[in-house]
Amino acid sequence: MAADPSIDSAANRIRIVLVGTQHPGNIGSAARALKTMGLSRLVLVAPERFPHIEAHALAAGADDVLAAAPVFATLAEAVADCRLVLGCTARSRRVALEEHLPRAAAALVMARAGEGAEVALVFGRERTGLTNDELQLCHAAVHIPANPEYSSLNLAAAVQVLAYELRMAMLEAGEAGGVATSAAGEPASHAQLEGFFAQLADTLDAIDFHKGRAPESAMRKLRRLFLRTALDVREVRLLRGILADAQRMARLAVARAPGEAPPRS
Amino acid sequence: MAADPSIDSAANRIRIVLVGTQHPGNIGSAARALKTMGLSRLVLVAPERFPHIEAHALAAGADDVLAAAPVFATLAEAVADCRLVLGCTARSRRVALEEHLPRAAAALVMARAGEGAEVALVFGRERTGLTNDELQLCHAAVHIPANPEYSSLNLAAAVQVLAYELRMAMLEAGEAGGVATSAAGEPASHAQLEGFFAQLADTLDAIDFHKGRAPESAMRKLRRLFLRTALDVREVRLLRGILADAQRMARLAVARAPGEAPPRS
């Protein structure tokens, strides 16, 4: 159970899986990272040394998370009941997996967990990450966009970043008055976002927003704004519905006074 | 200098200040966290033990960040030339500082650094944080919204979270084709956001978006969407400009056919 009463039960369907961890201290630090972010389900796959005094030392007050962590021999067993498995990779180029940034991954995880599915976020070995066979068990990859010249995030630091994004997604869901089930939906695809941007550009033309100015500047700012928001599918639908009504009003205004406001292509 | 060529020089105006750090290992881990996120300016204020072999051990390949870190006796000296100083606090209730979430803080830091200002992000002691006198030197506070029942983030983990948000803000700036100077501007105030939401609600009425449905549901979703985006002042102005033109078109449409689409209050 999550120790934080503000966290919905969706959090209890999210497991963080550490595969083949070499340093027991990292297991303890990961447990601490989880608990600070209101998560509690740590799962270990073939850790090199566990239980270990160093894991408990670094867990600080998160010993309960360590004590509750099941240990499996293989990743396949650890995620057997999961409907979504995301694998953290330094680079996923080795396999043909869709790759998400941490924020989008957190939205996806919360969406699935909110629907009642068991979800796993998988972290590989300190030096070598996940094997190709292990990555094949993942439905998508998560990539923390680290400095390409020095991308060696500590394992616990990577867990901390993902756990932080999960907590932000949970808090946003709670803040909006809903439970996590209706919070962050499935992330919009690239094509859905481009469809929205195309309609947004058309709408700006229709309502004569640019007034002779170059349209690129406004659209660049709007793209930046909406891309960083990680829109979900329903939000794109909502925004496009609003644009459709604005376009309809603009057509009415123009149709009723064709001489005053010429339609734009 | 940032080791990552994709990072704008704005990153070089951001210093991460650790005050009174007790464990040298945390200094090393913080250096590593910075470097993985493309930051390089670590500043130390009265560390208990430094230089120390443990700091270098945990810095992994970030020894250059450690080696370049200046050491000051007081926070006042360490931030003397800074135009923005943000202090990380578990809770800022002790002083009357405005409090930002990490994402909004990163936007603020990038905005100021992009304008050419020296900016500091300050982290206090492992157990006791920043003193009241030190907090008085800060212009605002940053709060990582941890599990209230277990909020003891490791110092390096807190640095990692903030450094990650700074990197995301930098990448967003770069992705949008601009330099960081024009990237994330000053965060919109509460009043500015509420002004925008009020105009958005009026516009939905004007374009007859609800069509008899309860308007609360759409507005709740839109509030959630735009609140999590951490809009800046210029973005609010841009969005309100678009709404104004949509409202103008709707008025034209209605004025020209008053019998067909009655104006709404």
Q: Which pLDDT tens digit goes with each residue over B53-71?
A: 999 999 999 999 999 999 9
Predicted confidence (pLDDT) at residue A73 exceeds the cutoff of 90:
yes
| Architecture of the domain made up of B190-256 | Orthogonal Bundle (1.10)
Q: Exposed e or buried b for every residue in B35-71, given b needs 16+ CB within 10 A?
A: bbbbbbbbbbbbbeebebebbbebbbebbebbeebee
Taking only the tens place, the pLDDT of each residue in A126-185 is 999 999 899 999 999 999 999 989 988 999 999 999 999 999 998 887 754 333 333 357
Distance in angstroms (rounded) separating the CA atoms of residues B133 and B136: 5
Structure confidence at residue A194 (pLDDT): 87
- Tell me what the mean pLDDT of segment A24-45 comes to: 97
Report which of A28, A161, A216 is spatially closest to residue B37, judged by C-alpha positions: A161
Q: Kindly tell me the burial class for residue B265, based on how many C-beta atoms sit within 10 Å of its own C-beta (0-12, 13-18, 19 or more).
A: exposed
Cβ separation of A225 and B245 shorter than 8 Å? no
Closest partner CB to B150 (pick from A3, A152, A221):
A3
CB atoms within 10 A of CB B158: 24
Structure confidence at residue A265 (pLDDT): 42
Structure confidence at residue B95 (pLDDT): 63
Name the segment(s) of chain B with CATH classification 3.40.1280.10: 9-182
Name the segment(s) of chain A with CATH classification 1.10.8.590: 190-256
Q: Alpha helices of A176-213 — where are they, by DSSP H?
A: 190-206
Taking only the tens place, the pLDDT of each residue in B125-157 is 999 999 989 999 999 999 999 998 998 899 999
- ipTM over 0.90? The verdict is no
Of the listed ranges A34-48, A185-199, B250-264, the least confidently predicted one is: B250-264
Cβ separation of B175 and A227 shorter than 8 Å? yes
Q: Which of A88-92, A221-225, A240-244 has the highest mean pLDDT?
A: A240-244
Q: Look up tokens 């159970």; give the residue.
A: A1
Provide, as residue numbers in chain B, all residues whose Cβ is less than 8 Å from the Cβ of A208.
245, 249
Structure confidence at residue A227 (pLDDT): 81
Query: Where does B9-182 sit in CATH, by number?
Result: 3.40.1280.10
> Cα distance from B249 to chain A (closest Cα, Å)?
5
Provide, as residue numbers in chain B, all residues whose Cβ is less than 8 Å from the Cβ of A64.
none
Predicted confidence (pLDDT) at residue A245 exceeds the cutoff of 50:
yes
Mutate to test the interface with A, among B32, B66, B147 (most CBs of A within 10 A): B147
Cα–Cα distance list, B263 to A159, A245, A246, B250 (Å): 54, 15, 15, 9
Q: What are phi and psi of B213, to 5 degrees?
A: -75, 160
Taking only the tens place, the pLDDT of each residue in B180-236 is 333 357 778 778 888 999 999 999 999 999 988 888 889 988 988 888 777 888 899
Question: B260 falls in which pLDDT band (50, 70, 90)?
Answer: low
Closest partner CB to B256 (pick from A148, A238, A257):
A257
Mutate to test the interface with B, among A54, A160, A179, A213 (most CBs of B within 10 A): A160
Taking only the tens place, the pLDDT of each residue in B28-61 is 999 999 999 999 999 999 999 999 999 999 999 9
HEC readout, chain B: CCCCCCCCHHHHHEEEEEECCCCHHHHHHHHHHHHHCCCCCEEEECCCCCCCHHHHHHCCCCHHHHHCCCEECCHHHHCCCCCEEEEECCCCCCCCCCEECHHHHHHHHHHHHHCCCCEEEEECECCCECCHHHHHCCCEEECCCCCCCCCCCCHHHHHHHHHHHHHHHHHHHHHCCCCHHHCCCCECCHHHHHHHHHHHHHHHHHCCCCCCCCHHHHHHHHHHHHHHCCCEHHHHHHHHHHHHHHHHHHHHHHHHCCCCCCCCC
- Tell me what the mean pLDDT of segment B6-16 comes to: 79
Predicted confidence (pLDDT) at residue A93 exceeds the cutoff of 50:
yes
What is the pLDDT of chain A when averaged over all its residues?
86
Structure confidence at residue B85 (pLDDT): 96
Collapsing DSSP to helix, strand or coil, A237 comes out as helix
Provide, as residue numbers in chain B, all residues whose Cβ is less than 8 Å from the Cβ of A177.
220
Closest partner CB to B249 (pick from A37, A101, A249):
A249
Predicted confidence (pLDDT) at residue A95 exceeds the cutoff of 90:
no
Identity of residue B35: K
Structure confidence at residue B96 (pLDDT): 75
Residue B55 is encoded by which pair of tokens?
């700091």
Predicted confidence (pLDDT) at residue A1 exceeds the cutoff of 80:
no
Rounded to two decimals, what is the model's pTM?
A: 0.71
Nearest residue of chain B to residue A3 (CA atoms): B149
| Residue that wins the pLDDT comparison between A72 and B94 | A72
Mutate to test the interface with A, among B142, B164, B242 (most CBs of A within 10 A): B164
- Tell me what the mean pLDDT of segment A116-123 comes to: 96
Structure confidence at residue A140 (pLDDT): 92
Cα–Cα distance list, A180 to A9, A113, A154, B144, B158 (Å): 8, 8, 30, 20, 25
> Cα distance from B45 to chain A (closest Cα, Å)?
23
Count Cα atoms within 13 angstroms, Cβ side, for A34: 32
Closest partner CB to A221 (pick from B156, B235, B252):
B235
Structure confidence at residue A43 (pLDDT): 98
Of the listed ranges A97-101, A198-202, A228-232, B171-175, the least confidently predicted one is: B171-175
Q: Is the peptide bond before B51 cis (omega within 30 degrees of 0)?
A: yes
Structure confidence at residue B118 (pLDDT): 95
Q: Look up tokens 């700036």; give the residue.
A: B173
Structure confidence at residue B255 (pLDDT): 83
| A241-244 contacts, C-beta under 8 A, 24 or more apart | A241/B209, A242/B204, A242/B207, A242/B209, A243/A196, A243/A199, A243/A200, A243/A202, A243/A203, A244/A199
> Cα distance from A83 to chain B (closest Cα, Å)?
27
Structure confidence at residue B181 (pLDDT): 32
